[in-house]
Amino acid sequence: MVTTHYPKQHCLYCNVAFDAASEVWEEGKRPKPDDATICIACGGLMIFTEGLGVRKPTEEERKQLERDVKVQHAQMALAHTKGWKRQ
Ligand SMILES: [Zn+2]
């Protein structure tokens, strides 16, 4: 697993600070603009921007991401790790 470090920023949902991202599906891949990322603290979906900042996904992007089985698996794994319950 490759971890990419970048300047510290904050989750747009829970405000937790983060400064790195790890690819969990494609070995060796590093984030690039328009790639999705999931906050490890709250599970919030964000999109990388130029310079590896983040923005919230548009409504259409959010719907597409929520239908993506890789995103669903990542969120389930995170929920399992955090002990979150399904609603
Ligand atoms: Zn968060």
Query: Using one digit for the tens of pLDDT, what is the confidence trace for 48-85?
Result: 999 889 999 999 999 999 999 999 998 898 899 888 87
Total domain count for the chain? Answer: 1
CA-to-CA distance for 74 and 79, rounded, in angstroms? 9
26 Cα–ligand 1 center, Å: 23
11 Cα–ligand 1 center, Å: 5
Q: Is residue 64 part of a domain?
A: yes
Residue-averaged pLDDT of the chain: 89
User: In b/e form, how buried is each residue of 38-52, taking b as 16+ CB within 10 angstroms?
Assistant: bbbeebbbbbbeeeb
CA-to-CA distance for 49 and 6, rounded, in angstroms? 12
52 Cα–ligand 1 center, Å: 16
Which structural domain range is residue 66 located in?
3-82
Q: Is residue 87 part of a domain?
A: no
12 Cα–ligand 1 center, Å: 7
pLDDT reported for residue 15 = 97
